[in-house]
Structure 1
């Protein structure tokens, strides 16, 4: 049991929930009295809605914050009642694979249930010896996880269980369709056995996936939701309580069209105008701010032309990184990109968290943020403030604001190529400038050259992606052959298991094949 349990856990299991801001004071409370929500909670109505509630809304309307609020309220209630259980999952598209896949969802739900109700672990005992050995050797598979969830539900007895699953749109459509179908079957199976199971989804509007039966709430259509936005405006806007100020607040509310994120981005702009003593310019300032998130993002990118190369690289790094980059990696990737001698004056230990936080905000023009972590000693990652920023940048309008000549494939291909060049530049700078190059431990390397590990892990991966999207890497392969021993030395320094290290004479073909870099293999002159 214990080994199977341990294979369910992963480090980012609640990373997205932690990084979400809590609901603003006195907002979201109205949902607790909403007819649909109370019907969903009422066990007498299970036959009517089959235990499903789906909260839908436009991008940036505040669905995830509402889900975090509902999850927290339910958790508080469950803590007082041993016959109630709760498990949640918040999909996160920019995160690691397990944060944005149903595979990660099923592992997370099981882990939470087994932690909160250890007696449910008996569902694991139904695997025969051979099946258990396969899982221990090769890891869990999706179908085995789904089967285990079914068995776990069967073990609930007279307890009732609630699932909160947020941001379905941040998972692959095919996987979501399969997941919804699985949960519909699960609820039906539970009902046949008089087991009480409720599931609350939230997502953007899904034209392609519908529940056979369930309750739905469209967030931006709710009058109470707009009242929440009005409360937020009143709280955050630094204006008096005059009649004119109240009318101005109403103008902001109307222009927001129910999008919380739009308001959260616009209020600081208006407060800045007010702080400069330009109260007479506030209405004019609001009039220049466009309606809609995409138009607002476009305005933010276009409002000044300072450090545009830095902004472009910031966007490429967050969009196309092989994995989410840490705050320290982000800082040194961008700062050393413009100053190859930075490490001489700014060692990693001399750059404090506050400096890096402020840099992440300024370099991204406010479109990126630093995540929260449960462990203080763990380096947080840098992400866009909302998935709609990523959507905008991949759209034609967003792409053409900063890369007007690129089509979609070129945008992706040259993005990976830029990161490849930055990674290669980091390796070259280390070899050229570090007097102890080749002798430092992995721990020292991470301290003194914080971006070097990412560069070592990702140079070839970015080159492969660039080639896949049509940006030729013939010249890179020739260049890499002259740097291969430097790369191998670093790869071996960072590799925990010495059996996986490469010899100095390893063939590049072997390296490319082992890492599955098919696009580079196809163009390599064998």
Structure 2
């Protein structure tokens, strides 16, 4: 159970069992379809009979539903491979065996941290795309960004690419879309089965999917995704021309579930020492040429080659970091360059420590790194400028200077090569850097390793977001709604442009508040201010949040703090609000009471807590006993009200 559910109330008397249909509605599954997770039950032949090879009638809507991550820019975060590297994989017998099969199959490329798996995956996407008889799709997992760490996002991205390249195949998503709307994109099984059916019945030849960093996928959807990947080589799938190439670290759980020779061709990169060393050598040689060009000394830095080769730990990230340190040096003398390389620690952890120890303002560097570690997505420089400067006593945006010209340099000076700035967004240099900072089971070494706690980092970012939403500018003139009760896109865009951190704060403060765990209630009095019923400040952030989470949903201004806490799953806040008194049965015109909201959101602990406090539920203005709801007809009025 997570913090969104009502903590100690889980030990109280359980709720009576609702009927199966009613339970499906409380969980938010409006389809009422008992086979909702089995897309194989859908009859796509009906769509072919009406449209031949034409695309589905909802082609555009399906594509929009599936485009929930900017998968192209995620790949662009990966460094370009040095010419001549990565080719050892395409020449390997196991790669050729996997690619040459005329059936479905899985190739698992495993390697240790820093061995260049992401660069390899990006190289293979390009290499495979040259094959004219194959459709190539890709996804790059990264656990520092919500839309890069969930398997449903990966499958949506793959389907989006497939349907973009073969428009008629979109009919295979048609029935799922009609039954569930965009909710079908939230189910691993449904998405996988759409993919398999599209490839099996589409006559499109090989479909090859490259998935990088499977180990960075979050655990729940990872397990379901791996189960499907392992099924690719089963006899019943022999007629399907669907191939997956996945990269990951050689973790036990992945090896256990994916590593069977009967289902998986495995290429162990961690055992290809000679090939990896040859590629590291090419990276060093290219890096020296780049340095010679940068410093205007053609042919003058050859002496660094042997130094780097003897010092490198065979990881690309180590070599890249040292080359960047050489580039950033203020002194290009032979003595200085030799000293940098010869004194660079051979291990990544020690090298990261040395980089951060050079910061002249370690407390400022720590604040930036804490924000980077906890952020739900990479922040832009403008957003980081606000997050870095804001304090609880900031009264208005005027206290936060617009992005100064040298802020990018400030970030680099504080954090060194520990961060990368790409397209004005701030990233950690590598997954190993994130792991270096976050507390683990063993004590760290030095002043930096394992010094950041996820709970405390989320508390800091929750505090930052809430402080921003409390600024005086948001106490008046919230974004407008149209005559249909929907938040206007242009109004939100104008607000986001004017107030650079508003989009992030409005959309993510509640997530950081939740992930602050037992510290979250330290912020209770501050969230009272931004959640004061009917206040302009409340309406400002809520309309931005609502536009992004439910763009087609009608928005009303009659929500209470108890209602929004029930919607967001803030169990501890609901408990506190119940203790403080107030109208527990206050009703929104369209959304009912807090109990209606908790039931609709499928939060059983929250529903139980409200019921035990004698909360009431109303549907179409009539009081209902929520436990006696029997089926979809009784809930029809409630369901209609959420449109």
TM range (shorter): 0.7 to 0.9
1:262-341 matches, within 5 Å, as: 262-273=318-329, 276-304=331-359, 306-336=360-390
Structure 1 SS opposite 2:109: strand
1:225 is aligned to 2:272: no
Q: State which of 448, 452, 466 in structure 2 corresponds to 1:424.
A: 466
1:487 is aligned to 2:537: yes
Structure 2 SS opposite 1:364: helix
Q: State which of 313, 316, 320 in structure 2 corresponds to 1:257.
A: 313
Partner of 2:266: 215
1:160 is aligned to 2:206: yes
Call closer, same or farther: CA 1:341–1:364 in 2, change over 3 Å: farther
The number of aligned residues is: 487
Q: What is the alpha-carbon distance in structure 2 between the residues aligned to residue 401 and residue 500 of structure 1?
A: 51
- Give the deviation of 1:520 after TM superposition: 2.9
If each structure's helix is expressed as a fraction of its own residues, which one has the higher value?
1
Q: What is the alpha-carbon distance in structure 2 between the residues aligned to residue 329 and residue 370 of structure 1?
A: 13
Partner of 1:120: 169
| Residues 123, 148 of structure 1: 8 Å contact kept | yes
Which stretch shifts more, 455-464 or 151-160?
455-464
Unmatched 5+ residue regions in structure 1? 373-379
- Deviation string 1:446-496 (CA, Å, 9 cap, x unpaired) is 334312343344444433332x2x32625x323443553463142255354
Kindly name which structure, 1 or 2, has the bigger radius of gyration based on alpha carbons. Answer: 2
Call closer, same or farther: CA 1:93–1:461 in 2, change over 3 Å: closer
| Residues 464, 519 of structure 1: 8 Å contact kept | no
Q: State which of 521, 525, 530 in structure 2 corresponds to 1:478.
A: 525
Call closer, same or farther: CA 1:115–1:322 in 2, change over 3 Å: closer
- Deviation string 1:410-468 (CA, Å, 9 cap, x unpaired) is x233222222332233244x31xx5x9513754554334312343344444433332x2
Structure 2 SS opposite 1:103: helix
1:463 is aligned to 2:513: yes
TM-score (norm 2): 0.67
| Residues 106, 232 of structure 2: 8 Å contact kept | no
Structure 2 SS opposite 1:54: strand
1:515 is aligned to 2:568: yes
- Give the deviation of 1:64 after TM superposition: 0.6
TM-score (norm 1): 0.81
Partner of 1:449: 499
| Residues 475, 537 of structure 2: 8 Å contact kept | no
Call closer, same or farther: CA 1:471–1:139 in 2, change over 3 Å: same
Structure 1 SS opposite 2:95: helix
Q: What is the alpha-carbon distance in structure 2 between the residues aligned to residue 250 and residue 487 of structure 1?
A: 62
Q: State which of 411, 415, 435 in structure 2 corresponds to 1:364.
A: 415
- Give the deviation of 1:189 after TM superposition: 4.7
Partner of 2:140: 90
Q: What's the RMSD between the two structures over aligned residues? A: 3.4
Unmatched 5+ residue regions in structure 2? 1-55, 480-491, 581-643
1:438 is aligned to 2:476: yes
Call closer, same or farther: CA 1:522–1:292 in 2, change over 3 Å: farther
Structure 2 SS opposite 1:291: coil
Call closer, same or farther: CA 1:294–1:111 in 2, change over 3 Å: same
Partner of 1:171: 217
Structure 2 SS opposite 1:370: strand
Partner of 1:375: none
- Give the deviation of 1:324 after TM superposition: 3.6
| Residues 478, 539 of structure 2: 8 Å contact kept | no
Call closer, same or farther: CA 1:502–1:162 in 2, change over 3 Å: same
1:136 is aligned to 2:181: yes
1:42 is aligned to 2:96: no
Partner of 1:53: 107
- Give the deviation of 1:27 after TM superposition: 2.3
Which structure has more RCO (C-alpha within 8 Å, separation ≥ 6)?
2
- Give the deviation of 1:316 after TM superposition: 1.6
